[in-house]
Protein backbone atom coordinates (compact mmCIF):
# COMPACT_ATOMS: atom_id res chain seq x y z
CA UNK A 1 0.00 0.00 0.00
CA UNK A 2 1.08 3.60 -0.47
CA UNK A 3 2.30 5.35 2.67
CA UNK A 4 -0.37 7.44 4.40
CA UNK A 5 -0.63 9.07 7.79
CA UNK A 6 -3.25 7.95 10.29
CA UNK A 7 -4.91 11.34 9.80
CA UNK A 8 -5.10 10.84 6.02
CA UNK A 9 -6.59 7.37 6.39
CA UNK A 10 -9.09 8.66 8.95
CA UNK A 11 -10.19 11.37 6.54
CA UNK A 12 -10.47 8.89 3.67
CA UNK A 13 -12.73 6.48 5.56
CA UNK A 14 -14.78 9.13 7.35
CA UNK A 15 -14.11 7.81 10.83
CA UNK A 16 -12.82 8.90 14.21
CA UNK A 17 -9.21 8.29 15.23
CA UNK A 18 -8.48 6.85 18.68
CA UNK A 19 -4.89 6.70 19.93
CA UNK A 20 -5.51 5.85 23.60
CA UNK A 21 -2.73 3.75 25.11
CA UNK A 22 -0.48 4.07 22.06
CA UNK A 23 2.55 6.15 21.16
CA UNK A 24 1.17 6.99 17.73
CA UNK A 25 0.16 10.45 16.56
CA UNK A 26 -2.09 11.56 13.68
CA UNK A 27 1.11 12.01 11.65
CA UNK A 28 2.25 8.41 12.15
CA UNK A 29 2.75 6.79 8.73
CA UNK A 30 1.25 3.39 7.86
CA UNK A 31 2.08 1.49 4.67
CA UNK A 32 1.41 -2.17 5.48
CA UNK A 33 -0.99 -4.49 3.70
CA UNK A 34 -4.74 -4.36 4.38
CA UNK A 35 -6.79 -7.44 5.24
CA UNK A 36 -10.01 -8.61 6.85
CA UNK A 37 -8.37 -11.92 7.83
CA UNK A 38 -6.48 -11.69 11.13
CA UNK A 39 -4.35 -14.68 10.10
CA UNK A 40 -2.85 -12.61 7.28
CA UNK A 41 -1.90 -9.61 9.38
CA UNK A 42 1.81 -8.83 9.45
CA UNK A 43 3.90 -6.24 11.24
CA UNK A 44 2.72 -2.79 10.24
CA UNK A 45 -0.46 -4.07 8.60
CA UNK A 46 -4.03 -2.80 8.74
CA UNK A 47 -6.83 -5.04 10.01
CA UNK A 48 -10.41 -4.23 9.04
CA UNK A 49 -12.87 -5.79 11.50
CA UNK A 50 -15.82 -6.82 9.34
CA UNK A 51 -19.08 -8.22 10.60
CA UNK A 52 -20.02 -11.37 8.68
CA UNK A 53 -23.10 -13.51 8.35
CA UNK A 54 -21.79 -16.06 10.82
CA UNK A 55 -19.07 -14.26 12.75
CA UNK A 56 -17.75 -10.87 13.77
CA UNK A 57 -14.26 -9.76 12.81
CA UNK A 58 -13.98 -7.71 15.98
CA UNK A 59 -13.46 -11.00 17.85
CA UNK A 60 -10.19 -11.46 15.99
CA UNK A 61 -8.83 -7.96 16.50
CA UNK A 62 -6.73 -9.04 19.53
CA UNK A 63 -5.01 -11.65 17.36
CA UNK A 64 -4.35 -9.02 14.69
CA UNK A 65 -2.87 -6.71 17.32
CA UNK A 66 -0.67 -9.50 18.66
CA UNK A 67 0.67 -10.12 15.16
CA UNK A 68 1.81 -6.53 14.80
CA UNK A 69 -1.11 -4.64 13.26
CA UNK A 70 -0.35 -0.92 13.08
CA UNK A 71 -4.01 0.07 12.68
CA UNK A 72 -7.45 -1.37 13.30
CA UNK A 73 -10.52 -0.15 11.41
CA UNK A 74 -13.46 -1.02 13.63
CA UNK A 75 -17.15 -0.26 14.15
CA UNK A 76 -16.80 0.26 17.88
CA UNK A 77 -13.77 1.02 20.11
CA UNK A 78 -11.79 -1.94 21.40
CA UNK A 79 -9.68 -2.13 24.56
CA UNK A 80 -6.44 -2.73 22.67
CA UNK A 81 -3.19 -0.68 22.62
CA UNK A 82 -3.33 -0.18 18.85
CA UNK A 83 -4.43 2.90 16.87
CA UNK A 84 -8.07 2.53 15.85
CA UNK A 85 -10.33 4.30 13.40
CA UNK A 86 -13.97 3.90 14.38
CA UNK A 87 -16.39 3.91 11.45
CA UNK A 88 -20.11 3.34 10.98
CA UNK A 89 -19.64 0.45 8.53
CA UNK A 90 -16.29 -1.24 7.99
CA UNK A 91 -17.10 -2.50 4.47
CA UNK A 92 -18.11 1.01 3.36
CA UNK A 93 -14.93 2.33 4.97
CA UNK A 94 -12.86 -0.26 3.09
CA UNK A 95 -14.37 0.91 -0.20
CA UNK A 96 -13.75 4.57 0.61
CA UNK A 97 -10.16 3.74 1.57
CA UNK A 98 -9.59 1.96 -1.76
CA UNK A 99 -11.15 4.83 -3.70
CA UNK A 100 -8.74 7.32 -2.13
CA UNK A 101 -5.68 5.16 -2.73
CA UNK A 102 -6.64 4.64 -6.39
CA UNK A 103 -7.20 8.40 -6.76
CA UNK A 104 -3.78 9.22 -5.34
CA UNK A 105 -1.91 6.70 -7.48
CA UNK A 106 -3.85 7.78 -10.58
CA UNK A 107 -2.78 11.37 -9.96
CA UNK A 108 0.83 10.31 -10.57
CA UNK A 109 -0.08 9.77 -14.21
CA UNK A 110 1.14 6.24 -14.96
CA UNK A 111 -1.62 3.92 -13.68
CA UNK A 112 -3.94 2.17 -16.17
CA UNK A 113 -6.86 0.09 -14.91
CA UNK A 114 -8.72 -2.85 -16.44
CA UNK A 115 -12.04 -4.01 -14.99
CA UNK A 116 -13.24 -7.54 -15.76
CA UNK A 117 -16.76 -8.89 -15.27
CA UNK A 118 -18.98 -11.64 -16.64
CA UNK A 119 -20.83 -14.72 -15.47
CA UNK A 120 -17.89 -16.98 -16.32
CA UNK A 121 -14.19 -16.55 -16.97
CA UNK A 122 -13.40 -13.52 -14.81
CA UNK A 123 -10.57 -15.11 -12.86
CA UNK A 124 -9.02 -16.78 -15.91
CA UNK A 125 -9.08 -13.54 -17.91
CA UNK A 126 -7.67 -11.59 -14.97
CA UNK A 127 -4.82 -14.07 -14.63
CA UNK A 128 -4.07 -13.94 -18.35
CA UNK A 129 -3.97 -10.14 -18.26
CA UNK A 130 -1.68 -10.17 -15.26
CA UNK A 131 0.72 -12.49 -17.09
CA UNK A 132 0.82 -10.14 -20.08
CA UNK A 133 0.95 -6.81 -18.25
CA UNK A 134 3.50 -7.68 -15.57
CA UNK A 135 6.02 -8.11 -18.40
CA UNK A 136 5.42 -4.46 -19.30
CA UNK A 137 5.40 -2.85 -15.87
CA UNK A 138 4.51 -3.31 -12.18
CA UNK A 139 1.06 -4.90 -12.08
CA UNK A 140 -1.48 -5.54 -9.33
CA UNK A 141 -4.21 -8.14 -9.82
CA UNK A 142 -6.54 -9.93 -7.46
CA UNK A 143 -5.55 -13.08 -5.65
CA UNK A 144 -7.86 -16.05 -6.33
CA UNK A 145 -11.36 -14.62 -6.90
CA UNK A 146 -11.13 -11.39 -4.87
CA UNK A 147 -13.95 -9.73 -6.79
CA UNK A 148 -16.64 -8.63 -4.34
CA UNK A 149 -17.23 -5.59 -2.12
CA UNK A 150 -14.42 -6.79 0.18
CA UNK A 151 -11.97 -8.59 -2.11
CA UNK A 152 -11.90 -5.97 -4.86
CA UNK A 153 -11.00 -3.01 -2.62
CA UNK A 154 -8.37 -5.09 -0.80
CA UNK A 155 -6.77 -5.69 -4.21
CA UNK A 156 -6.91 -1.96 -5.01
CA UNK A 157 -5.19 -1.20 -1.71
CA UNK A 158 -2.16 -3.20 -2.89
CA UNK A 159 -1.27 -0.35 -5.26
CA UNK A 160 2.03 1.42 -4.80
CA UNK A 161 3.33 4.61 -6.35
CA UNK A 162 5.19 2.49 -8.91
CA UNK A 163 2.17 0.45 -10.09
CA UNK A 164 1.45 0.83 -13.80
CA UNK A 165 -1.44 -1.62 -14.22
CA UNK A 166 -4.33 -2.70 -12.01
CA UNK A 167 -6.48 -5.63 -13.13
CA UNK A 168 -9.65 -5.52 -11.06
CA UNK A 169 -11.98 -8.53 -11.16
CA UNK A 170 -15.53 -7.34 -10.49
CA UNK A 171 -18.25 -9.76 -9.46
CA UNK A 172 -21.68 -9.21 -8.01
CA UNK A 173 -24.72 -10.92 -6.56
CA UNK A 174 -27.07 -7.97 -6.97
CA UNK A 175 -27.82 -4.73 -8.79
CA UNK A 176 -25.46 -1.85 -8.01
CA UNK A 177 -22.49 -3.88 -6.80
CA UNK A 178 -20.44 -3.70 -10.00
CA UNK A 179 -21.25 0.00 -10.36
CA UNK A 180 -19.89 0.53 -6.85
CA UNK A 181 -16.63 -1.23 -7.72
CA UNK A 182 -16.32 0.63 -11.02
CA UNK A 183 -16.64 3.95 -9.20
CA UNK A 184 -13.83 2.91 -6.87
CA UNK A 185 -11.40 1.97 -9.62
CA UNK A 186 -12.60 3.91 -12.69
CA UNK A 187 -11.33 1.47 -15.37
CA UNK A 188 -9.74 2.70 -18.57
CA UNK A 189 -10.75 -0.63 -20.13
CA UNK A 190 -13.90 -2.47 -19.08
CA UNK A 191 -14.38 -6.10 -20.16
CA UNK A 192 -17.70 -7.98 -20.24
CA UNK A 193 -17.06 -11.65 -20.99
CA UNK A 194 -20.42 -13.41 -20.96
CA UNK A 195 -23.81 -13.16 -19.31
CA UNK A 196 -25.22 -16.53 -18.28
CA UNK A 197 -27.26 -18.13 -15.55
CA UNK A 198 -24.47 -18.23 -12.96
CA UNK A 199 -25.92 -16.75 -9.74
CA UNK A 200 -29.22 -16.03 -11.52
CA UNK A 201 -31.04 -17.17 -8.40
CA UNK A 202 -29.32 -14.45 -6.37
CA UNK A 203 -29.93 -11.77 -8.99
CA UNK A 204 -33.60 -12.66 -9.37
CA UNK A 205 -33.50 -13.71 -13.02
CA UNK A 206 -31.46 -13.37 -16.19
CA UNK A 207 -32.77 -9.87 -16.96
CA UNK A 208 -31.43 -8.64 -13.64
CA UNK A 209 -28.14 -10.39 -14.32
CA UNK A 210 -27.81 -8.54 -17.64
CA UNK A 211 -28.60 -5.26 -15.94
CA UNK A 212 -25.97 -5.87 -13.26
CA UNK A 213 -23.21 -6.83 -15.72
CA UNK A 214 -24.07 -3.78 -17.86
CA UNK A 215 -22.91 -1.57 -15.01
CA UNK A 216 -19.35 -2.21 -16.15
CA UNK A 217 -19.90 -0.23 -19.37
CA UNK A 218 -22.52 2.32 -18.33
CA UNK A 219 -19.97 3.86 -15.97
CA UNK A 220 -17.22 4.20 -18.61
CA UNK A 221 -16.25 7.57 -20.11
CA UNK A 222 -15.81 8.58 -23.77
CA UNK A 223 -12.06 8.24 -23.37
CA UNK A 224 -12.37 4.65 -22.12
CA UNK A 225 -12.70 1.37 -24.00
CA UNK A 226 -15.41 -1.29 -23.59
CA UNK A 227 -14.19 -4.76 -24.60
CA UNK A 228 -17.30 -6.80 -25.36
CA UNK A 229 -18.16 -10.36 -26.41
CA UNK A 230 -19.46 -10.18 -29.97
CA UNK A 231 -20.84 -13.74 -29.76
CA UNK A 232 -23.07 -13.25 -26.71
CA UNK A 233 -26.52 -11.85 -27.58
CA UNK A 234 -26.89 -10.57 -24.02
CA UNK A 235 -23.63 -8.63 -24.19
CA UNK A 236 -23.99 -7.14 -27.69
CA UNK A 237 -26.72 -4.61 -26.71
CA UNK A 238 -24.38 -3.18 -24.07
CA UNK A 239 -22.64 -1.29 -26.89
CA UNK A 240 -25.64 1.04 -26.91
CA UNK A 241 -25.36 1.70 -23.18
CA UNK A 242 -21.84 3.07 -23.06
CA UNK A 243 -20.10 6.29 -24.01
CA UNK A 244 -16.84 4.38 -24.41
CA UNK A 245 -15.33 3.17 -27.68
CA UNK A 246 -16.28 -0.49 -28.23
CA UNK A 247 -13.84 -3.25 -29.19
CA UNK A 248 -15.37 -6.64 -29.98
CA UNK A 249 -13.85 -10.08 -29.42
CA UNK A 250 -15.21 -13.46 -30.49
CA UNK A 251 -15.25 -16.20 -33.10
CA UNK A 252 -17.45 -14.44 -35.68
CA UNK A 253 -16.42 -12.09 -38.49
CA UNK A 254 -17.85 -9.05 -36.69
CA UNK A 255 -15.17 -9.27 -33.99
CA UNK A 256 -12.21 -6.89 -33.96
CA UNK A 257 -10.12 -9.58 -32.24
CA UNK A 258 -11.10 -12.96 -33.58
CA UNK A 259 -10.07 -16.60 -33.22
CA UNK A 260 -10.05 -18.95 -36.20
CA UNK A 261 -8.71 -22.43 -36.97
CA UNK A 262 -9.35 -23.63 -33.41
CA UNK A 263 -8.00 -27.07 -32.57
CA UNK A 264 -8.61 -28.46 -29.08
CA UNK A 265 -6.63 -31.40 -27.70
CA UNK A 266 -5.47 -32.79 -24.38
CA UNK A 267 -2.45 -30.48 -24.30
CA UNK A 268 -4.48 -27.31 -24.72
CA UNK A 269 -5.90 -25.36 -27.65
CA UNK A 270 -4.27 -23.96 -30.76
CA UNK A 271 -5.83 -21.10 -32.71
CA UNK A 272 -5.08 -18.17 -34.96
CA UNK A 273 -5.85 -14.72 -33.59
CA UNK A 274 -6.72 -12.15 -36.23
CA UNK A 275 -6.90 -8.45 -35.39
CA UNK A 276 -8.96 -6.05 -37.50
CA UNK A 277 -6.47 -4.22 -39.65
CA UNK A 278 -4.65 -7.32 -40.81
CA UNK A 279 -2.33 -8.44 -38.01
CA UNK A 280 -2.54 -12.11 -36.99
CA UNK A 281 -0.61 -14.72 -35.04
CA UNK A 282 -0.69 -18.42 -34.23
CA UNK A 283 -1.33 -19.15 -30.55
CA UNK A 284 -0.41 -22.40 -28.81
CA UNK A 285 -2.49 -22.00 -25.69
CA UNK A 286 -1.80 -24.61 -23.02
CA UNK A 287 -4.93 -23.86 -20.98
CA UNK A 288 -7.35 -26.72 -21.61
CA UNK A 289 -10.74 -26.05 -23.15
CA UNK A 290 -11.98 -24.23 -26.22
CA UNK A 291 -14.11 -21.97 -24.01
CA UNK A 292 -10.93 -20.46 -22.54
CA UNK A 293 -10.04 -19.19 -26.02
CA UNK A 294 -12.74 -16.54 -25.52
CA UNK A 295 -11.04 -15.45 -22.29
CA UNK A 296 -7.73 -15.29 -24.15
CA UNK A 297 -9.31 -13.13 -26.85
CA UNK A 298 -10.62 -10.70 -24.23
CA UNK A 299 -7.16 -10.50 -22.67
CA UNK A 300 -5.58 -9.95 -26.08
CA UNK A 301 -8.04 -7.18 -26.96
CA UNK A 302 -7.51 -5.36 -23.66
CA UNK A 303 -3.72 -5.72 -23.85
CA UNK A 304 -3.63 -4.29 -27.36
CA UNK A 305 -5.67 -1.30 -26.18
CA UNK A 306 -3.10 -0.77 -23.44
CA UNK A 307 -0.35 -0.62 -26.04
CA UNK A 308 1.16 -4.10 -25.76
CA UNK A 309 2.26 -5.41 -29.20
CA UNK A 310 0.53 -8.58 -30.41
CA UNK A 311 3.71 -10.72 -30.52
CA UNK A 312 4.44 -9.85 -26.88
CA UNK A 313 0.86 -10.68 -25.88
CA UNK A 314 0.97 -14.05 -27.63
CA UNK A 315 4.37 -14.91 -26.16
CA UNK A 316 3.06 -14.24 -22.65
CA UNK A 317 -0.13 -16.25 -23.17
CA UNK A 318 1.83 -19.23 -24.44
CA UNK A 319 3.68 -19.38 -21.13
CA UNK A 320 0.44 -19.91 -19.17
CA UNK A 321 -0.11 -23.58 -18.38
CA UNK A 322 -2.90 -23.26 -15.79
CA UNK A 323 -5.56 -20.58 -15.60
CA UNK A 324 -6.05 -21.12 -11.86
CA UNK A 325 -6.08 -24.04 -9.49
CA UNK A 326 -9.24 -26.17 -9.88
CA UNK A 327 -10.02 -24.63 -13.27
CA UNK A 328 -9.48 -27.20 -16.04
CA UNK A 329 -6.44 -28.37 -14.07
CA UNK A 330 -4.91 -31.43 -15.72
CA UNK A 331 -3.65 -34.04 -13.25
CA UNK A 332 -2.95 -37.75 -13.07
CA UNK A 333 -0.88 -39.59 -15.68
CA UNK A 334 -0.47 -43.10 -14.26
CA UNK A 335 -1.65 -45.78 -16.71
CA UNK A 336 -2.51 -42.98 -19.13
CA UNK A 337 -5.37 -41.79 -16.90
CA UNK A 338 -6.05 -38.05 -17.12
CA UNK A 339 -7.91 -36.20 -14.36
CA UNK A 340 -9.35 -32.78 -15.22
CA UNK A 341 -10.22 -30.93 -12.03
CA UNK A 342 -12.61 -28.09 -12.93
CA UNK A 343 -14.60 -28.03 -9.71
CA UNK A 344 -13.86 -24.52 -8.43
CA UNK A 345 -17.28 -23.44 -9.63
CA UNK A 346 -20.00 -24.37 -12.09
CA UNK A 347 -22.78 -22.74 -14.05
CA UNK A 348 -24.78 -24.16 -16.96
CA UNK A 349 -22.41 -22.46 -19.41
CA UNK A 350 -19.19 -23.63 -17.77
CA UNK A 351 -20.58 -27.13 -17.16
CA UNK A 352 -21.52 -27.41 -20.85
CA UNK A 353 -18.10 -26.15 -21.93
CA UNK A 354 -16.29 -28.60 -19.64
CA UNK A 355 -18.29 -31.58 -20.91
CA UNK A 356 -17.66 -30.59 -24.53
CA UNK A 357 -13.96 -30.32 -23.77
CA UNK A 358 -14.01 -33.78 -22.17
CA UNK A 359 -15.56 -35.21 -25.31
CA UNK A 360 -13.00 -33.43 -27.52
CA UNK A 361 -9.80 -34.36 -25.72
CA UNK A 362 -10.33 -38.04 -24.84
CA UNK A 363 -7.74 -40.56 -25.92
CA UNK A 364 -8.78 -42.53 -29.03
CA UNK A 365 -10.49 -45.77 -28.09
CA UNK A 366 -10.69 -44.86 -24.39
CA UNK A 367 -13.54 -43.83 -22.14
CA UNK A 368 -14.70 -40.51 -20.72
CA UNK A 369 -15.99 -40.24 -17.15
CA UNK A 370 -17.74 -37.16 -15.81
CA UNK A 371 -17.99 -36.79 -12.04
CA UNK A 372 -20.56 -34.03 -11.57
CA UNK A 373 -22.03 -32.20 -8.59
CA UNK A 374 -24.64 -29.53 -8.12
CA UNK A 375 -24.73 -26.21 -9.97
CA UNK A 376 -25.79 -23.89 -7.17
CA UNK A 377 -27.45 -20.45 -7.03
CA UNK A 378 -29.68 -21.04 -10.07
CA UNK A 379 -32.97 -20.37 -8.29
CA UNK A 380 -36.01 -21.23 -10.38
CA UNK A 381 -33.78 -22.37 -13.26
CA UNK A 382 -32.09 -25.12 -11.25
CA UNK A 383 -34.25 -28.07 -12.29
CA UNK A 384 -34.37 -27.40 -16.01
CA UNK A 385 -30.66 -26.57 -16.18
CA UNK A 386 -29.66 -29.80 -14.44
CA UNK A 387 -31.95 -31.58 -16.91
CA UNK A 388 -30.21 -29.87 -19.80
CA UNK A 389 -26.76 -30.91 -18.59
CA UNK A 390 -27.91 -34.52 -18.17
CA UNK A 391 -29.16 -34.56 -21.75
CA UNK A 392 -25.98 -32.93 -23.02
CA UNK A 393 -23.79 -35.55 -21.33
CA UNK A 394 -25.79 -38.28 -23.04
CA UNK A 395 -25.68 -36.64 -26.46
CA UNK A 396 -21.94 -36.02 -26.21
CA UNK A 397 -21.47 -39.73 -25.66
CA UNK A 398 -19.83 -39.45 -22.25
CA UNK A 399 -19.07 -43.05 -21.30
CA UNK A 400 -19.85 -42.86 -17.58
CA UNK A 401 -21.53 -40.33 -15.31
CA UNK A 402 -20.95 -40.27 -11.56
CA UNK A 403 -23.40 -37.84 -9.97
CA UNK A 404 -22.58 -36.70 -6.44
CA UNK A 405 -25.05 -35.31 -3.91
CA UNK A 406 -28.80 -34.74 -3.71
CA UNK A 407 -28.50 -31.29 -5.30
CA UNK A 408 -27.44 -32.92 -8.58
CA UNK A 409 -29.71 -35.99 -8.45
CA UNK A 410 -32.05 -34.60 -11.11
CA UNK A 411 -29.14 -34.60 -13.57
CA UNK A 412 -28.72 -38.32 -12.90
CA UNK A 413 -32.44 -39.08 -13.38
CA UNK A 414 -32.54 -37.18 -16.67
CA UNK A 415 -29.50 -39.01 -17.99
CA UNK A 416 -30.81 -42.49 -17.24
CA UNK A 417 -34.21 -41.57 -18.73
CA UNK A 418 -32.66 -40.52 -22.05
CA UNK A 419 -33.47 -43.52 -24.24
CA UNK A 420 -30.91 -42.69 -26.94
CA UNK A 421 -27.99 -43.37 -24.58
CA UNK A 422 -26.65 -46.83 -23.95
CA UNK A 423 -24.19 -45.72 -21.29
CA UNK A 424 -24.56 -45.65 -17.54
CA UNK A 425 -25.06 -43.11 -14.78
CA UNK A 426 -24.33 -43.78 -11.12
CA UNK A 427 -25.54 -41.70 -8.19
CA UNK A 428 -23.67 -41.43 -4.90
CA UNK A 429 -24.25 -39.29 -1.84
CA UNK A 430 -20.68 -38.29 -0.99
CA UNK A 431 -17.24 -37.51 -2.38
CA UNK A 432 -15.83 -40.55 -0.58
CA UNK A 433 -18.28 -42.83 -2.37
CA UNK A 434 -17.44 -41.15 -5.66
CA UNK A 435 -13.71 -41.66 -5.04
CA UNK A 436 -14.19 -45.36 -4.34
CA UNK A 437 -16.39 -45.81 -7.42
CA UNK A 438 -14.04 -44.00 -9.79
CA UNK A 439 -10.82 -45.60 -8.54
CA UNK A 440 -12.34 -49.06 -8.77
CA UNK A 441 -13.73 -48.64 -12.28
CA UNK A 442 -11.25 -46.47 -14.18
CA UNK A 443 -9.39 -48.21 -17.01
CA UNK A 444 -6.00 -47.32 -18.48
CA UNK A 445 -6.28 -44.35 -20.85
CA UNK A 446 -9.56 -43.00 -19.40
CA UNK A 447 -10.14 -39.26 -19.09
CA UNK A 448 -12.02 -38.13 -15.97
CA UNK A 449 -13.65 -34.71 -15.50
CA UNK A 450 -14.59 -33.49 -12.01
CA UNK A 451 -16.99 -30.53 -12.14
CA UNK A 452 -19.34 -28.83 -9.66
CA UNK A 453 -20.08 -25.57 -7.91
CA UNK A 454 -17.69 -24.63 -5.12
CA UNK A 455 -20.31 -25.41 -2.48
CA UNK A 456 -20.40 -29.07 -3.53
CA UNK A 457 -16.74 -29.45 -2.56
CA UNK A 458 -15.74 -31.72 -5.44
CA UNK A 459 -12.52 -29.77 -6.05
CA UNK A 460 -11.01 -31.76 -3.16
CA UNK A 461 -12.23 -34.99 -4.77
CA UNK A 462 -10.45 -33.89 -7.94
CA UNK A 463 -7.26 -33.37 -5.95
CA UNK A 464 -7.57 -36.85 -4.41
CA UNK A 465 -8.10 -38.47 -7.80
CA UNK A 466 -5.20 -36.52 -9.28
CA UNK A 467 -2.88 -37.70 -6.52
CA UNK A 468 -4.17 -41.28 -6.74
CA UNK A 469 -3.41 -41.48 -10.46
CA UNK A 470 -0.21 -39.43 -10.37
121 is an annotated ligand-binding site residue: yes
123 is in an annotated binding site: yes
- CA 306 to CA 111: how far, in whole Å? 11
For residue 82, which of 48, 55, 50 has the smallest C-alpha distance? 48
Gap between the Cα atoms of 68 and 223, Å rounded? 43
Nearest to 70 by CA among 13, 32, 23: 32
Cα–Cα distance for residue pair 314/14, rounded to 1 Å: 45
Residue 362, marked binder: no
Alpha-carbon Rg for the chain, nearest whole angstrom, is 24
- Secondary structure string (H, E, C) spanning 84-132: EEECCCHHHHHHHHHHHHHHHHHCCCCCEEEEEECCCCHHHHHHHHHHH
Whether residue 42 is annotated as binding a ligand: the answer is: no
According to the annotation, is 453 in a ligand binding site? no
Nearest to 291, CA basis, from 347, 366, 373, 207: 347
**Is 451 marked as a binding-site residue?**
no
Count of CB atoms within 10 A of residue 145's CB? 16
Q: CA distances (Å), 411 to each of 158, 165, 305, 363, 426, in order?
A: 43, 43, 43, 25, 11
- 268 labelled binding-site residue: no
Four-CA torsion 42, 103, 111, 195, nearest 10 degrees = 90
For the annotated binding site for ATP, the residues are 118-124
For the annotated binding site, the residues are 118-124
Amino acid sequence: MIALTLAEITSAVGGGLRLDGTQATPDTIVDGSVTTDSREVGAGGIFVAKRGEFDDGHRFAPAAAAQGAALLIVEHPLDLPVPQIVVADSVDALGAFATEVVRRVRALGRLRIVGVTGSNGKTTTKNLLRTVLERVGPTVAARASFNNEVGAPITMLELTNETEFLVAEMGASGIGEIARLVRMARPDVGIVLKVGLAHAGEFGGIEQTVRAKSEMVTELLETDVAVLNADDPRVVPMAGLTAARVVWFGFGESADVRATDIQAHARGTEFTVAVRGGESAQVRFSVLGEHHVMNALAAIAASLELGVPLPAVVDALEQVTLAERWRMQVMGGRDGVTIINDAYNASPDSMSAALKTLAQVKNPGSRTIAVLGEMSELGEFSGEEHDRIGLLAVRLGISQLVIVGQGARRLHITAINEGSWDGESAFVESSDEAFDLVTSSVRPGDTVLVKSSNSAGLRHLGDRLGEWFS
